[in-house]
Amino acid sequence: MSFEEAEVIRRRAEAFLRNAEHLLNSGEWDLAVFNLEQYCQLILKYKLLVKAGSYPRTHSLRRLIRELAKFHPSLSALTDDEGKLHYVARLEEAYITSRYTPYNYEDREALSLYRFVVDVFKKLVEGI
């Protein structure tokens, strides 16, 4: 994949994060959480593309994190630390939940996931 194609993935990831912020401000909790998951998934795929030249065709955040941690072991904190893993798993569940089950996220859940993504996940991933 070319540099330009990788940049499309990065820009799309950032757009999902901006959209999540907008949706949170609009009280659209379910869609905001889905957009947070999409940001995480795409930014991990972007980083893998840059580091490894490809990424696995999966929606699993845990698998993407573990693949990228082979290049940057510090990223393992997202799956090794039980508290962080809880958030990663909730985001991973959001991919399926928002598409296939009638589950409604509450404002506290959505805001907590947003804070995790911005304050923890994003900082770790941007640091690599």
Note the pTM of the prediction, 2 decimals. 0.94
At the second CATH level, the architecture of 3-126 is Up-down Bundle (1.20)
Residue 1 confidence (pLDDT): 63
Residue 120: CA count within 13 A, CB half-sphere: 19
**The token pair that represents 12 in the structure block:** 């799309």
Angle at 21 between CA 80 and CA 6, to 5 degrees: 65
Name the nearest CA neighbour of 63 among 76, 52, 46, 50. Answer: 76
Q: What is the pLDDT of residue 4?
A: 85
Per-residue pLDDT tens over the stretch 60-112: 999 999 999 999 999 999 999 999 999 999 999 998 887 788 889 999 999 99
HSE (side-chain half, CA atoms, 13 Å) at 21:
8
